[in-house]
Amino acid sequence: MDTKGEVLQMLKKAVETWDMELVHEASQNALSQGITPYEAIEKGLGKGMINISERFNEGLIFLPQVLAASKAMEEGMAVFEPFIGKDSPHTTKGNIVIGTVQGDVHEIGKHVVCAFLRGAGYSVFDLGRDVPPDDFLEAAKERNASIVAASALMTTTLIGQKKIVKCLKEEELNIKTLFGGACCTRKWVESIGGDEYCSCGSEVVECVDRMLKFNKGD
Ligand code: B12
């Protein structure tokens, strides 16, 4: 029987080697060992993706390999998703509209964030990738959202987050904004008048819980 550490390593390796068979084997192994989906995603699959990012940055691998690893990560997440939030309450804690900003197709990190928030009992409406600012606004009104969240992975697309803040402020809607993504920082979010920044999936639930509690106290 593999130890928990070994199974997490297997998940990491499966993404690093974009080995679909290993992704399934390791994911099933994790489930049968009672490893939580959160741990499997953050400490297993996610660690593999971080390693892929580093190797890409160092020029050791190229876009096709990154894409293959991304697919392996998504495949693994799909195995865990049905088990996330199985024990969470059926009543929703609030509606969240999320998407990746216009011009940006990166969405693995956003999927991690969605999975964790759904698991914590929020209703999450994922608009996908390359989403224009107006679409965030319309979806937020339609869904009566408490929070609009947006991911941006590129310096060139960060501006999309600023446009979302502008759109929401123009309509004077009482909706909070939450931003993240590799090139997004707390300083940037403050500079555009956004409400919150969160750097990773494992902290997002705590962050959103805090934001909405603050809302209720208003
Ligand atoms: C995977 C990847 C891709 C995949 C995306 C697949 C997919 N389905 O998403 C593919 C191959 C398609 C791709 C394409 C491109 N990519 Co790319 N890609 C990456 C890479 C290697 C990893 C990103 C990733 O998935 N990480 C794993 C996840 C789990 O982490 P994460 O995204 O950071 O998310 C976590 C947190 O940031 C946070 N978070 C994320 N979103 C949100 C949102 C909210 C609301 C919150 C609260 C938190 C949060 O929580 C997440 C979980 O912990 C990064 C390198 C990097 N260092 O980020 C480059 C990177 C982002 N890509 C880059 C580039 C340039 C491109 C391309 C333009 C390449 C090209 N020349 O064609 C195209 C983009 C086309 C476009 N218009 O968008 C650059 C951006 C440079 C910059 N600073 O502007 C990077 C940084 C690589 C580099 N060093 O050059 N890419």
User: Measured between alpha carbons, how far is 101 from 105 in angstroms, rounded to an integer?
Assistant: 8
Q: Are residues 77 and 150 in the same domain?
A: no
Q: Are residues 209 and 125 in the same domain?
A: yes
Domain boundary among 57, 83, 109: 83
Provide the pLDDT for residue 201: 81
CA distances from 69 to 46, 78, 109, 166, 194 (A): 11, 14, 13, 35, 32
Ligand 1 pocket test target in 153, 175, 176 with most atoms within 8 Å of CB? 153
Q: Are residues 107 and 72 in the same domain?
A: no
Tens digits of pLDDT across the chain (218 residues) = 579 999 999 999 999 999 999 999 999 999 999 999 989 998 999 999 889 988 988 999 998 998 899 899 999 999 998 888 765 555 678 999 999 999 999 999 999 899 888 877 889 999 999 999 999 999 999 999 999 999 999 999 999 999 999 999 999 888 999 999 999 999 999 999 999 999 988 789 899 999 998 344 44
CB-CB contact of 144 with 177 (8 Å): no
Q: Are residues 19 and 65 in the same domain?
A: yes
Burial grade of 45 (CB within 10 A; 0-12, 13-18, 19 or more) = buried
Q: Are residues 101 and 193 in the same domain?
A: yes
Q: Tokens for 121?
A: 């009992």
Domain boundary among 38, 59, 83: 83
Provide the pLDDT for residue 89: 54
Q: Are residues 102 and 74 in the same domain?
A: no
* Domain-located, residue 99: yes
* Domain-located, residue 90: no
* Domain-located, residue 24: yes
Find how far residue 53's CA is from the centre of its chain.
16
* Domain-located, residue 88: no
* Domain-located, residue 45: yes
Q: Are residues 210 and 135 in the same domain?
A: yes
Provide the pLDDT for residue 218: 42
The answer, yes or no, to whether any atom of ligand 1 lies below 6 A from the CB of 116, is: no
The answer, yes or no, to whether any atom of ligand 1 lies below 6 A from the CB of 68, is: no
* Domain-located, residue 89: no
**Which residue, among 56, 178, 83, 70, has the nearest Cα to 124 in the 3D structure?**
178
Number of domains in the chain: 2
SS (H, E, C) 1-42: CCCHHHHHHHHHHHHHCCCHHHHHHHHHHHHHCCCCHHHHHH
Provide the pLDDT for residue 103: 98
Owning domain of residue 53? 4-83
Ligand 1 pocket test target in 11, 106, 210 with most atoms within 8 Å of CB? 106
Provide the pLDDT for residue 180: 98
- CATH number of the domain that 40 lies in? 1.10.1240.10
Domain boundary among 54, 83, 112: 83
